[in-house]
Amino acid sequence: MDVERIRKDFTVLSKDIGGKPPIYFDNACQTLRPRQVTEAVTEYYESFPACAGRSVHKLATEVSLRCDAMRAKASEFLGARDPHEVAFAKNTTEGLNTVIFGSGLGKGDEVVTTDYEHNSVHVPFLQLAKETGVKRRTVESATDGTFDLGAFEKTMSKRVKLVAMCLTSNVTGYTLPAKDVVDIAHSYGAKVLFDAAQAAPSMRLDVDKLGVDYLAASVHKMCGPSGVGLFYVRSELSEGLQPLMFGGHGVADTNYASFKLLPAPEKFETGLQNYAGILGTGAALDYLTAIGMDEIRAHEARLNKRMTRALLDVKGVELLRPHDPNMRSGIFSFNIDGLSSHDVAMILDNSKNIMMRSGMHCCHTYFHVRGLEGCARASVYIYNTVGEADLFVESVRELAGKFGRKG
């Protein structure tokens, strides 16, 4: 993988920001975009800025054809059998909410999650429980930070209708044993929903092989535009799943007494779509595919191993579990004793131009249960270099030595 060649596609990496080029380690929040993606977005606005699926003139037809091609590309990227199993949403959150609120769950039904869910799963279930009386069960992580399959199976019963889980944690980078989860859930008759926001950017996905029922991901974490999500629904389940919104485009016909929805995926795409974003998504998927998902995964692991080896035993630096970098994709989450996570992030930004995330990462329950106020999170991606990783290590060592409690 030629990182230096890749870096040339990302204009912002050559700009002086605060007097020096940025070291962007906030990829788990949002990745940068290559020129190929911004060019695809610009082409829409300059060459065929019309609506798809409505008008029949030449510009609209061009948009419709291109969106169909992008859907086929997204379907292939996710490993879906049929392009009609993939809808374009605003983000992962919209897809997750569609399943949680649209599956017909009610009193007497149970759902199962991990103990490190993003608020996009956690909060909708709190609301659903308030509205319907659905009961939620949580699988506690093993002491080493991994997913406890034994505890999961003990949690399951015939009352469980939906298993909704974060495929890759946005806090620790840990990826759960997805096929085992699906197989166990299906053996009890439950459907499975995966939050793949953190997995899709660097993990080869095959929804058909996994057997997962629903999956959602966000393109802004995959070198693509903001405001586009990929929402997979297994074809035989789409008819029974209610959309989150109702209105234009998703409706086939209506009168004063009733309406008829279009079939999937259109029923999940109510209202005017982000056509520029959808076309930019196609460029992003092409870009990642050309590099190779296995290559991306290996590059993340290489940098994470380098940072972990250098900082694991540094006094005052505490890594979040699991400690094995092979289990954490491109995420390196840590705290420095004596400093808040926000202090760490702001100091590294101001002194070294290292840009990273701090706080609770929309995963408050994870930190509350563990008595933590948050963590600093460095997350690497395809354009990050060994030199940047080494500078990060040196900077964290310096911070721990200067400000951290020696204890």
Indicate which residues carry an active-site annotation.
362
Return phi, psi of residue 139, to 5°.
Answer: -90, 120
The answer to whether the CB of 219 falls within 8 A of the CB of 277 is: yes
Buried b (16+ CB within 10 A) or exposed e, 378-403: bbbbbbbbeebbebbbebbbebbeee
The strand pair at 259-261 and 251-254 is best described as antiparallel
Terminal Cα distance for the chain, rounded: 42
**Pairwise CA distance, residues 231 & 122, whole Å:** 18
Q: Tokens 């609506």 — which residue? A: 51
Q: Alpha-carbon Rg of the chain, whole angstroms?
A: 22
User: Taking the CA of residue 109 as centre, how many other CA atoms within 13 Å lie in the half-sphere pointing to its CB?
Assistant: 19
Return phi, psi of residue 100, to 5°.
Answer: -60, -45
User: Which among 223, 204, 206 has a CA at the least distance from the CA of 381?
Assistant: 223
Degrees, nearest 5: CA angle 89-288-18: 90
The answer to whether the CB of 305 falls within 8 A of the CB of 325 is: yes
